[in-house]
Amino acid sequence: MNKPDFLSVKSKYKFIFDHFIDLIMVCDAGFTIIESNEAANIVLGKGESLIGEKCYYVLRQNKRPCLDCPLRDTINSGTVIPLVKYDDRFNEYFEERCFPILSGTEELDSFILTVKNVTKSRELEEKSAQMKKVSALGQISSGVAHDFNNVLTVVLGRVQLMKRLTSDPYFLKSLDMIEKSALDGASKVRKIQEFSRPSTKTLNESVNLKNIIEEVVEITRPKWDAASKIKGILIEPILELNDDLFILGDPSDLRNAFTNIIFNAIDAMPNGGILSIKTEQTDNYINVSFKDTGIGMTEETIERVFDPFFTTKGVLGNGLGMSEVYGIIKRHNGKTNIQSEVGKGTTIKIRFPSAKQSIEKTTDTSIEQPDTFSIYIIDDEEYILETLRDFLTDLDHTVHTNTDPKQALADIKKNKFDIVFTDLGMPGISGLELAEKIKSINSRIQVILISGWALNLNESDLENRVDFVLNKPFSFEKITFTLSEAGKKLAAFNRKASS
């Protein structure tokens, strides 16, 4: 059998060696390159052979062996230790690996050095890590939103109960402001819940800007009126608001934007002053201006005022207010312009496309008072149970409550109930599982699922288990309407059973 020709074998492996994409160099114990592949020659030697060069020079332009050379760590550990370095020459990340070749006496004879471009894989890893962070933040924000919805449910519920107990105009106006603020809070919570799944909701509600601005002025009164008087200063808002100026938008978002602008204007008038708010229509656009007589801004501040986290308030500000304003105005297809001079105040001008007033429905939208029902409420939060129970009792319904789903099921088996309210998230059993058990006991019972989570349930999730869904925080008008609809289904069920 003929032995293979040494030169042909060497040529064959040289061919393979040169066709590796990674940079490969063989170095002696003194870090001198004794062999290099074509990729290394092209990238590190500009097409010239690297033989005779020092590896630490061609890689790092060092005059002596690198302090972080992976060769030492590899020999000491007995495991190949990779080292990732950023190379300014190429604006790329490279991973270096050393493979020692030891002599018969276990001393270093030479080593193989490989260099691999890992920029793309590093970018993918960072993107994956970022997506995991976003996902984790979305889960955290969802949990916070759920808990906050529970709190808002009680605030909104108690305010609406108090409105039923008073006819005093001053108290009713104050309660209306609290109710609007709670509803705005609920809108912000929904945005938190949409953090990891942005909403595609279009702005199609016709909004009266005069009403929105007047509401915001009242909501901010504690700061520009009461708090300013405590400091011994006077801040006076002057309103020049035209009637019947409408834009397409989200009332909650607009209230939020205008509130931030007014708060900034108040902070800019530490010695008091005048805040003028004016609206006017020009052609197909509506202009809104907020003008204060405060300390004003430098040109540098004006340029950065809408940047996230930029603030001139030090530890008192988080720098998110005006960037949020910019985002809201932009979503409403508006434009913002700031005119300011140090010592002479600031004017913020906003321009919106105008819209027609929505046609009011002439049909009677009042909700009929439903029949009285025997109702069971199951929720692991006692303060929500109490709020919902007080409202339903005030409507003359017979109400039973329980925080324990197992005890509730036992009661429902023993007694006759028309309607059951059950929370979605409870320890030990979900609201959907509980609803299924309730329907198996008596399919006539109308099950109303309530939840502070952002529900994304399919019809198959609800079929034969849940009749109605209420998201927290819910208004009592919504509850009353739902009870009315539940009453209709009960009446239809009874007619079918008697026929």
Q: Which residue has the higher pLDDT, 487 or 371?
A: 487
Contact 296, 344 (CB under 8 A): yes
Across all residues in the chain, what is the average pLDDT?
82
**338, β-bridge pairs:** 348
Binned at pLDDT 50, 70 and 90, residue 237 comes out as very high
Flag whether pLDDT at 325 surpasses 90: no
Q: Which residues lie closer than 8 Å to 127 by C-beta, 6 or more apart?
A: none
How far apart are alpha carbons 112 and 348 in whole angstroms?
66
pLDDT > 60? residue 318 = no
pLDDT at 223 over 80: yes
Q: Any idea which of 21-25, 62-66, 119-123, 184-188 has the lowest mean pLDDT?
A: 184-188
pLDDT of 95 reads: 94
Q: Which CATH architecture has domain 206-357?
A: 2-Layer Sandwich (3.30)
Q: Give 476 or 195, the one with higher predicted confidence.
A: 476
Banded pLDDT at 4 (limits 50, 70, 90): low
pLDDT digits 0-9 by tens, 463-474: 778 888 887 777
Question: Could you tell me which of 377, 495, 499, 402 has the C-alpha nearest to residue 444?
Answer: 495
Q: Which residues contact 265 (CB under 8 A, 6 or more apart)?
A: 275, 290, 292, 294, 346
Higher pLDDT, 145 or 205: 205
Q: What pLDDT is stored for residue 455 in this prediction?
A: 53
pLDDT of residue 305: 80
Separation CA 380–CA 429 (nearest Å): 11
Measuring CA to CA, which residue among 297, 249, 306 is closest to residue 269? Answer: 297
Among 109, 107, 188, smallest CA distance to 141 is for 188
- pLDDT tens sequence across 27-72: 999 999 999 999 999 999 989 999 999 999 999 999 999 988 999 8
DSSP state of 402: E
The pLDDT of residue 36: 94
Do residues 271 and 233 lie in contact, with contact meaning Cβ atoms separated by under 8 Å? yes
DSSP state for residue 198 in the 8-state scheme: -
How is the chain split into domains, by residue range? 16-117, 206-357, 374-498
Residue with tokens 């902070």: 267
What is the structure's pLDDT at 357? Answer: 74
Q: Which range, 80-94, 189-203, 318-332, 473-487, has the best average confidence (pLDDT)?
A: 80-94
pLDDT at 133 over 70: no
350-354, 370-374, 421-425: least confidently modelled range: 370-374
Over range 253-267, report the average pLDDT. 89
Among 207, 280, 288, CA closest to 242: 280
pLDDT-based confidence at residue 374 (cuts at 50, 70, 90): very high
| 12: pLDDT strictly greater than 80 | no
Average pLDDT over residues 418-439: 86
pLDDT at residue 230 in the model = 82
The alpha carbon dihedral of 292, 298, 299, 305 has a sign of: negative
Q: How confident is the model at residue 363 (pLDDT cuts 50, 70, 90)?
A: very low
The percent of residues in the chain predicted with pLDDT above 70, rounded, is 83
Provide the pLDDT for residue 218: 87
> Is 60 exceeded by the pLDDT of residue 192?
no
Mean pLDDT of 325-354: 90
Query: Of 13-17, 46-50, 160-164, 217-221, where does the model show the most confidence?
Result: 46-50
Q: Which CATH class is domain 16-117?
A: alpha beta
Question: CB 37: neighbour CB atoms within 10 A?
Answer: 21
Give the tens place of pLDDT for each residue, 381-416. Answer: 887 888 888 888 888 899 999 999 989 999 999 999
CATH number at 374-498:
3.40.50.2300
What is the rounded radius of gyration, in angstroms, for the C-alpha atoms of the chain? 35
DSSP string, 282-342: ETTEEEEEEEE-S----HHHHHHTTSTT--SSGGG--S-HHHHHHHHHHHTT-EEEEEEET
Structure token pair of residue 33: 């390159």
pLDDT band at residue 308 under the 50/70/90 scheme: low
Question: How would residue 231 be classed by pLDDT, with cut points 50, 70 and 90?
Answer: confident
